[in-house]
Structure 1
Amino acid sequence: MSTSSVVVAARREQTDRGAAKGHRMVRCWKRSDTRLEEEQCTDGSPVASPWSHFSHKAFWVSLSALLLLVIVALGLTGHLGLSRPHSQIVRIAAPDQHGALINQTAVVDLQNDLVTFSVTSPANRTSTVLFDVKHGLICYKPADQDSCFLRTMEKSDYDGVNSLLRKSAHEQSLFQLSGNETQRQMEFLGVLASSQVDVTSLEEPLQALCQDGSVHWTQRADGPGKQRLVYFCIDICFPSNICVSVCFYYLPE
């Protein structure tokens, strides 16, 4: 008995919205005397190659791995940037005019252009001098006083502070100045008692230093004169072998 192939078409058209080219798959069945067999047939549409599926999958896997590496690299860079200290402690050792060693420490904040000196006198009293390079101000807070004294920075002040900023950028933390090579200067600042400053109008570093006391402007002067008395002096030394003794007195009202 001859076997005749009868194709019973059970054609179902499936419209796949995810397919880009609108391929249609047709399922065909071949009937024999003993069993019903399924065979693949097409309606003329191209058949997708297995290599195209592999290339598509490999592309997305590679892209995901690349994005993961970028995220990890950015995370490590941010962590290292945050963990890097913004301030550096620098110690400057220099003898005063009588040969006694000046105990002086400077905290250098390179990010905010701030240098804060802590100067301890032989009587173990510590005064604070803050150089705000960004705003061009110097703030003096003498030991055992609640008042702060302001003045604007001049060229010599910028030169001294910049020498410290440049050298501390190379992570040098100790400067030993020689007594024979150190140049000494003396400056007199007159306190303008009538020009008191509102602390809240100052920038944050100055507010933190002077929040518990009054703030007064000062101006450079030739000297107090015989009728005026010098109330206090602060010695500051820079790595450029220059030490400045800043002395204050009150101007007449």
Structure 2
Amino acid sequence: MIGHRMLRCWNLPEGTLEGGCCMDGSSSTLHPIPKKALCVSLLASLLLILLALGLTGHLRLPQKHLQSSQAVRFTASDPNGILFLNQSAVVDQENGLVTFTVTTGVNQTSTVLFDTKHGIICYHPAYQERCLLWTMETSDYDNVRSLLQASAHQQSQFQLSVNETQRRTEFFGVLAASQADISTLEEPIRLLCRGRTIHWTKRAEGPGRQRLVYFCIDICFPNNICMSVCFYYLPE
């Protein structure tokens, strides 16, 4: 029995004041004084360490999420110093998302979401219960990349130069029979377009004289490129 119990115990080095802890709750035969307090103390310390590590990891996750997004602002003035561009964007580098918020002169706010991971742009026009989608092209990736790189240096303010700004207009035709199923889209778009109809669009040369553009939106990037994106309905 003595040999059996010694196999299940561990002993501190010879000459120490404390005895070892045993798996069956008893102490080593070399130390007849029970040392249950030592066992309980070691177990309690282990639990405290695990709890501290768990809390530290739990608290750091929200901080990482908050730090992954950065708000930036774009402004531009005409030669007379009059502000004519005032837009903002939220850059989420970790998820490759850039969300523009554009407010027009009549205080109407529209939202444009660039999802670089899935190659989709989503536009939610002001005061319209719809969202419009189109696929990103090389120029779109280049423009958004300039913003992602700038935000990596913690730049939160962009003052665009009017004289150096390049402007271009892109036309998109709304496909009447292309309503998208929101359940097939990625989470950022689902959140933006919840409760709204969603239609795919495609780039086109222009609406033609028989078709009128029914709304446009301007978006500017740090590389001094501004896009005027205009939509119209394609023939049935």
Q: TM-score, normalised on structure 1?
A: 0.72
Q: Which segments of structure 1 move beyond 6 Å, counting only runs of 4 or more?
A: 52-57, 64-71, 96-99
Other-structure match for 1:34: none
Other-structure match for 2:6: 19
Contact kept in structure 1, 2:75 and 2:83, CA below 8 Å: no
Alpha-carbon separation, structure 1, partners of 2:79 and 2:98: 24
In the alignment, does 2:59 pair up with 1:79? yes
CA 73–209 in structure 1, closer or farther in 2 if over 3 Å, else same? closer
Q: CA deviation at 1:226?
A: 0.9
In the alignment, does 2:206 pair up with 1:223? yes
Alignment size in residue pairs: 212
Other-structure match for 1:140: 123
Other-structure match for 1:173: 156
Alpha-carbon separation, structure 2, partners of 1:238 and 1:130: 14
Amino acid at match of 1:144: Y
Amino acid at match of 2:98: V
In the alignment, does 2:234 pair up with 1:251? yes
Offset from partner CA, 1:157-211 (integer Å, 9 cap, x none)? 1111111111112222111111111111111111111211122221221112222
**Secondary structure at the residue paired with 1:104?**
strand
- Could you tell me the percent identity over the aligned residues? 54
**Secondary structure at the residue paired with 1:189?**
strand
Amino acid at match of 1:226: R
Offset from partner CA, 1:32-60 (integer Å, 9 cap, x none)? xxxxxxxxxxxxxxxx9842776979xx9
Q: CA deviation at 1:97?
A: 11
Residue of structure 1 aligned with 2:177, choices 187, 191, 194: 194
Other-structure match for 1:150: 133
Contact kept in structure 2, 1:236 and 1:245, CA below 8 Å: yes
Contact kept in structure 1, 2:179 and 2:198, CA below 8 Å: yes
Offset from partner CA, 1:67-118 (integer Å, 9 cap, x none)? 9778756754553343231321111113489965222111112222111111
In the alignment, does 2:33 pair up with 1:89? no
Larger Rg belongs to: 1
Alpha-carbon separation, structure 1, partners of 2:46 and 2:190: 48
Amino acid at match of 2:147: L
Q: CA deviation at 1:15?
A: 2.4
Alpha-carbon separation, structure 1, partners of 2:135 and 2:83: 30
Other-structure match for 1:43: none
Contact kept in structure 1, 2:76 and 2:162, CA below 8 Å: yes
Other-structure match for 2:168: 185
Offset from partner CA, 1:195-238 (integer Å, 9 cap, x none)? 11122221221112222221111111111111110111000011
**Secondary structure at the residue paired with 1:160?**
helix
For structure 2, the 5+ residue unaligned runs are 22-38
Alpha-carbon separation, structure 1, partners of 2:105 and 2:62: 39
